[in-house]
Structure 1
Amino acid sequence: MKAIHCKQFGPPSSLTLEEVSSPKPGKGEVVITVKACGVNFPDTLIIQGLYQLKPELPFTPGSDIAGIIKEVGEGVTHLHPGDEVFGFVMYGGYAEEVVVSAKACIKKPKAMDFTVAASLMIAYGTSYHALKNRAKLQKGETVLVLGASGGVGLAAVELAKLMGAKVIAAASSNEKLSLCRQYGADEVINYTSQDLKSTVKELTLGKGVDVIYDPVGGKYTEMALRSIAWQGRYLIVGFAAGNIPKIPMNIPLLKGCAIIGVFWGNFASISPKENLQNINELLHWYEEGKLTPHIHKIYELHQVPIALEEVMNRNVKGKIVIKCS
């Protein structure tokens, strides 16, 4: 089978497409013929050795997989060869086949395309966990989403609106913000041409926002935090801007707010039943036509380096998906 290999930590251009042996499942595992794999920002970090997880070299990146069960390992009874599934691996997804824990696989609705299934687990799983479990978002509250046109950001916009919130989307261009409007944003802020703090204050009549969803970090974090409402919740989701901001700790004191970490991968591993409940709720919304993952572009397996460059250069609205087989 073919797989993308990271032989040394570095830029996407250092990745190679290799012919490797097909994997075999261990106890509690399945082998999936990968039809599609979603591209996520952490993929760009893990290949550079900048992620909190550093796999032993060489390895295959890619986490958000959808495909067909090829083989099941010992003890797996709820999945069978031929089942169409989607799931999550820490790495290994940019390949024609991958071994996955059976607990990390969910049967795909028949009507759902593989590319859509490969766009759902991480982006929507992360955003729903953040808003539901971590922020405990209530109907009628106001949510500010930074990086709102990206994979997790756009999912957060769509989900926050579904959960009954007023949504303010912040992004770096009017084109990106137009897409956010389509996904339910009530108000938008172009933070390359508008002052984030003063615009939020104006849009909320001085109250500030109840929940801030931040997958970006960087220079906008402190400005956003200063715009939070009394007893608001600031969700730290990631650092797509490239640097981890330092926060003046007097701000949460004066605001009476909470700064909350969101690590969906650990949540899914430590609380699999709760995560499964979340995913089933997302699937229910999808089947009702209330969730529509936005596919920016589909690439072939050999084009993984190009896809990762697009993500790193912030040219992507919604999700890029790799067609693997």
Structure 2
Amino acid sequence: MQAWHVHENGEPSEVMRLADVERPTPGDGQVLLKVRAANINFPDALLCRGHYQVRPPLPFTPGVEICGETEDGRRVLATPALPYGGLAEYTVADAAAVLPAPEALDDAEAAALHIGYQTGWFGLHRRARLEAGETLLVHAAAGGVGSAAVQLGKAAGATVIGVVGGAGKAAVARELGCDVVVDRRTEDVVAAVKEATGGRGADVIYDPVGGEAYTQSAKVVAFEGRIVVVGFASGSIPSPALNHALVKNYSILGLHWGLYRTRNPKLVLHCHEQLTELAARGAIKPLVSERVPLGGAAGAVQRVADGVTTGRIVVVPGPAEGEAV
């Protein structure tokens, strides 16, 4: 089979190599999966760079999220067990963590549902307790993680403000359903959010960016507001001023979705059931902006690393959907 291997750490486009290798052999409690579609995530870039919290032995295959097929023909969602990631024709995953793929979504859409939407659901509902009628601010609203939070926020009955970088991403955020879109490249984010909320600020802020985005969040969070720290795509990890959180009376909430898989796996299943129901009634639908064949995976990971994409890029082994066979 074909699989992408990383033999040394560095930029994805430089260190990922497509190779012919043997199919992985499942270990105890694992299943072999044929990869139907693999979603590209920012952690794939971090894995290549050696900057992720998990550092698999070299060589390894990136790809942390797939829609796959079991040997008995079931269509499932899985997070592959590294070092056998999903940017390959076959991978392995822990059997206990495999979930049924929603019938309402095609393979590429299903591949993009698991991590981003689970993260969004846990962040907004489990951690921030978002309520209908509240205002939700989403940084990087046109990206993979942000677009999921926008859809989940709208499904929950919130007013959603999306912060993006550039006119193209602003158009995507509007299509996603954002009630207000702020282009950080041409607008003062703090002033625009205060104007949109009548000076009150946002009740919940969803931040996968860090850096300057977090600084802005602290200036526009409402009384009893909640800032959900999801990641640091900017590469800058902020140091919050806790005295500021005290005097403004807001909460700073960390979210590490992966912990729920070991600490409370039943809640992960409950979340998946909720997401499946939302997908069935059309309330959420992963934004797949590009579908590429397996041979284009290295370039796709690099584009995600560079922050130039909208929605999700999904790798489909074999010809991409719509291409001639």
Q: TM-score range by the shorter chain?
A: over 0.9
- 1:27: how far off? 2.6
Residue 55 of structure 1 corresponds to 56
CA shift digits 1:59-93 (9 cap, x unpaired): 111111112102xxxxxxxxxx1111111135411
Supply the distance in 1 between the matched residues of 2:315 and 2:134 (Cα, whole angstroms). 36
Q: Secondary structure at the match of 1:226?
A: helix
Within 5 A, what are the aligned runs for 1:152-301? 152-301=145-294
- 1:11: how far off? 0.8
Q: Secondary structure at the match of 1:47?
A: helix
Q: Secondary structure at the match of 2:49?
A: coil
User: Mind listing any 5+ residue stretches in structure 2 that lack a counterpart?
Assistant: 319-325
Supply the distance in 1 between the matched residues of 2:262 and 2:312 (Cα, whole angstroms). 23
CA shift digits 1:21-40 (9 cap, x unpaired): 11222232110001110000
| Pair 1:9 & 2:15 matched | no
Q: Return 286-295 or 108-117, whichever deviates more.
A: 108-117
* Same amino acid, percent of matched pairs: 39
Supply the distance in 2 between the matched residues of 1:210 and 1:290 (Cα, whole angstroms). 22
Structure 1 pair 224–90 and aligned structure 2 pair: CA distance change class (3 A): farther
Q: Secondary structure at the match of 1:268?
A: helix
Q: Secondary structure at the match of 2:4?
A: strand
Supply the distance in 1 between the matched residues of 2:135 and 2:87 (Cα, whole angstroms). 38
- 1:219: how far off? 1.5
Q: Return 263-272 or 284-293, whichever deviates more.
A: 263-272
2:287 maps to amino acid:
H
1:207 maps to amino acid:
R
CA contact (8 A) 1:89 1:104 kept: no
CA contact (8 A) 1:208 1:227 kept: yes
| Pair 1:316 & 2:309 matched | yes
CA contact (8 A) 2:102 2:279 kept: no
CA contact (8 A) 2:140 2:164 kept: yes
Supply the distance in 1 between the matched residues of 2:65 and 2:217 (Cα, whole angstroms). 30
1:242 maps to amino acid:
G
Supply the distance in 2 between the matched residues of 1:96 and 1:30 (Cα, whole angstroms). 14
Supply the distance in 1 between the matched residues of 2:170 and 2:122 (Cα, whole angstroms). 24
Structure 1 pair 23–90 and aligned structure 2 pair: CA distance change class (3 A): closer
Residue 102 of structure 2 corresponds to 109
Supply the distance in 2 between the matched residues of 1:171 and 1:321 (Cα, whole angstroms). 21
Supply the distance in 1 between the matched residues of 2:127 and 2:233 (Cα, whole angstroms). 20
Q: Return 200-209 or 17-26, whichever deviates more.
A: 17-26
CA contact (8 A) 2:47 2:55 kept: yes
CA contact (8 A) 1:196 1:224 kept: no
CA contact (8 A) 1:226 1:251 kept: no
1:2 maps to amino acid:
Q
Q: Which runs of 4+ in 1 moved over 3 A?
A: none
Supply the distance in 1 between the matched residues of 2:81 and 2:130 (Cα, whole angstroms). 28
Structure 1 pair 288–14 and aligned structure 2 pair: CA distance change class (3 A): same
Residue 75 of structure 1 corresponds to none
Q: Return 164-173 or 11-20, whichever deviates more.
A: 11-20
Supply the distance in 2 between the matched residues of 1:269 and 1:193 (Cα, whole angstroms). 43
1:7 maps to amino acid:
H
CA shift digits 1:207-256 (9 cap, x unpaired): 11111000011222112211101111101001111111222222211111
Residue 34 of structure 2 corresponds to 33
- The Cα RMSD (Å) is 1.3
Supply the distance in 2 between the matched residues of 1:111 and 1:197 (Cα, whole angstroms). 38
Residue 20 of structure 1 corresponds to 21
1:143 to 112, 125, 136: 136
CA contact (8 A) 1:17 1:302 kept: yes
CA contact (8 A) 2:206 2:227 kept: yes
Supply the distance in 2 between the matched residues of 1:220 and 1:109 (Cα, whole angstroms). 33
CA shift digits 1:81-120 (9 cap, x unpaired): 1111111135411111111011221122345311111110
CA shift digits 1:120-159 (9 cap, x unpaired): 0011111111101111111111110001100010110010
Count of aligned pairs = 315
1:142 maps to amino acid:
T
